[in-house]
Structure 1
Amino acid sequence: MPPRIVSITAGAAFLLAALTACSAPGETAPTPTTDPATSAPQASVEPAATPDPDPTSGALTCESMISPGTVAALTEAGWTAETKDFVIGDTTISEDEGLLCFWGDYAVASDHGQLYGWAELSAGAASDAQTSLLAAGWHREDGPEGVYITEDPQYAMGTDDDGYGMTYLFGDGWVKLADTKQGLLLIEGAG
């Protein structure tokens, strides 16, 4: 093995050992926190009180889509939300059917941020979107909440603790999107 690879491997092992030694068993980090490696605020990931947003209950906004604790953590970090085009494979969702928000610190040039989206989606549009994503190499996983379609972790910009990157959750008449599967738990409602 070349010396450079040995050094990298040894360095990674040392870093893992140091990080493991820093936390006591059963110790939990306070939330929200800021990840020093990415400066991205990390909000607590708890199941949402309202599992699926209901756009008829009020106007869907970047702030109403996610949990209040997540909004507080992102705002405290100096982040704001900007809306983006909500495109799923070959399917574009109109603004009156859904919303996609990218939270970040727009005062600095950075690619760090968090993505949350929710939209109404007919069964036909959901089928077309899933087919398009699967044809592009995304992975399907069925769950009790619905159908998860997640990007190949090999190409993910970031992953959650379980190795999932950007993930869509398709339910009955709706779709959620977050930059990780765990992030889907933070999407709780509209209005």
Structure 2
Amino acid sequence: MTRRIPLATLAAVTIALTLSACTAAPEPTPTPTPPPTETATPAPEPSVSETPEPEETPQAAPTCETIIAPSTVTALSDHGWTHREHQFRLGEDVVEGGIQCVWGDYTVASDHVQVFGWAPMDQAASNTAQQKLLSAGWQRADSDGHVYITENPDTAFAVDEEGFGMTYEFGDGWVTVADTRRGLVLVEFE
């Protein structure tokens, strides 16, 4: 004998089994979703361009008040001295862009003055000027890496304690002058 299960019962059992299987199965554990990562846009690569070199600030023109220290200007002024401005000269030659100042008391007749000067000078002009002075009887007196050309002490109008009269100091791109070598320390134009 063959048992037949009515179709309605079979459908009910299938539905029941399907529903129980759905409820009996463990719910899947949620896997944590990683937080969204920001996609960093790569920074643009710096462009390779030449940075222009800063332009040199043009140097102010030298004046009788700027080629020596402000304290020296004050001391001379407090003493009642004023200055007269002249062209910077090396013998008969005028050095363009330079200045030579003679400080003194111009209210009285006196030869008691102080001379200070500064001028720009490249190396070729410096070599030529030094040779001209030496051939005119001036003397070279190098000291501490500085080149000094000083007038002959036998014919100098006035000399300092070391016997130096009017003296030129030649540096890198400049020349200075003072009525004595010792006076050159007061010239400080940059």
Q: Give TM-score, length-normalised by structure 1.
A: 0.65
Q: List 4+ stretches of structure 1 deviating above 6 A.
A: none
Task: Give the Cα–Cα distance (whole angstroms) in 2 for the partners of residues 99 and 61 of structure 1.
Answer: 7
Displacement after TM superposition at 1:189 (Å): 2.0
- Is the aligned partner of 1:138 residue 2:173? no
Verify the 8 A CA contact 1:141 1:149 in the aligned structure 2.
yes
Q: Percent identity?
A: 49
- Higher Rg of the two aligned structures: 2
Match of 2:73, as an amino acid?
Answer: V
Verify the 8 A CA contact 1:90 1:132 in the aligned structure 2.
no
Quick check: which one's strand share is greater?
A: 1
Q: Give the superposed CA RMSD.
A: 1.7
Residues 51-74 of structure 1: CA distance to partner in whole angstroms, max 9, x if unpaired?
xxxx94433211111112211111
Match of 2:62 among 42, 60, 63: 60
Task: Give the Cα–Cα distance (whole angstroms) in 1 for the partners of residues 58 and 144 of structure 2.
Answer: 24
Residues 72-125 of structure 1: CA distance to partner in whole angstroms, max 9, x if unpaired?
11101111111112110243112xx21110101111112210000011012121
Partner of 2:148: 148
Partner of 1:6: none
- Ranked by relative contact order (alpha carbons within 8 Å, sequence separation 6 or more), the top structure is 1
Verify the 8 A CA contact 1:145 1:171 in the aligned structure 2.
no
Displacement after TM superposition at 1:135 (Å): 1.0
Over 3 Å counting, the alpha-carbon distance change for 1:145 and 1:80 in structure 2 is: farther
For residues 12-91 of structure 1, the aligned pairs below 5 Å read 56-91=58-93
Displacement after TM superposition at 1:144 (Å): 3.2
Gaps of 5+ in 1: 1-54
Task: Give the Cα–Cα distance (whole angstroms) in 1 for the partners of residues 124 and 164 of structure 2.
Answer: 26
Task: Give the Cα–Cα distance (whole angstroms) in 1 for the partners of residues 116 and 58 of structure 2.
Answer: 19
Displacement after TM superposition at 1:145 (Å): 4.2
Over 3 Å counting, the alpha-carbon distance change for 1:116 and 1:187 in structure 2 is: same
Q: Give TM-score, length-normalised by structure 2.
A: 0.66
Verify the 8 A CA contact 2:150 2:168 in the aligned structure 1.
yes
Aligned length: 134
Partner of 2:94: 92
Displacement after TM superposition at 1:143 (Å): 2.6
